[in-house]
Amino acid sequence: MSVYSIITVLLYFPAFLHYLWKLPSWLLFSSLSDLSVIYFYMVTVNFIESIVILMMVLAFSIVLPARWFRDRFVSKGVMLTVFLLGFLIYLGRYMWPETPFPWGVVRLSPLIFAGIVALVFILDEIPFLRKLLEEIANRFTVFLYILIPISILSAIIVLFRNLF
C-alpha cells in the first residue's frame, strides 16, 4: 500500500493540476457533463497506469531474490518508482510533434534502467534515507482513502459509458 500510495501521488496530482490549469478555458465551451467526463477518463487512465506501474515493481520484487528486494520492499519500491517515473517524465518532455524523436535516449534506456536499479540498491544502504522514504510512503497512504474510491467510481462510469 505504501508504494502504491507514492505511485498514485506521482500520477494523480500532476494530472489533476493539469486538469485545473485547463479548466478555465474549457468552461468557455464545455458543459458540466463534458467536464466531468473528461475528469472521469483522466482518473481512469491514471488508475490503470498506477496499477501497471505497481505490477512492474511487484514483478521486479518477485524476480529478484528476497533479500535483495523483497526484504526492504517499501524503500526500494519507492526509490525505483520515483526514479523510473522521473525518467519517463524526462523522456516525455522531449516527445513533441515538432521535435525529432529522441533515439539516443531510447537506445540508452537499458543502460539507464541498469543505472537506476544500481542507484536504488546503493541509496537503500543509507539508513536515514531508507527510514525517511518509508515514513513518507506510510504518510501518503491517507491519499488512497480518497483516490481508490474515486478511481473505482470513475472506472465504472467510463466502462458503463463505453458499453451502453
pLDDT tens profile 33-62: 999 999 999 999 999 999 999 999 898 888
> Hey, what amino acid is at 52?
V
How far apart, in whole angstroms, are the C-alpha atoms of residue 161 and residue 157? 6
Helix residue spans in 31-125 (DSSP H): 32-63, 73-93, 103-107, 109-123
pTM for this prediction: 0.84
The confidence band for 22, taking pLDDT boundaries of 50, 70 and 90, is: very high
State the chain's mean pLDDT as an integer: 89
Q: What is the pLDDT of residue 157?
A: 95
139 vs 91, higher pLDDT: 139
Q: Are 116 and 87 in contact (CB under 8 A)?
A: yes
pLDDT at 72 over 90: no
From the list 77, 97, 91, the residue with the least C-alpha distance to 2 is 77
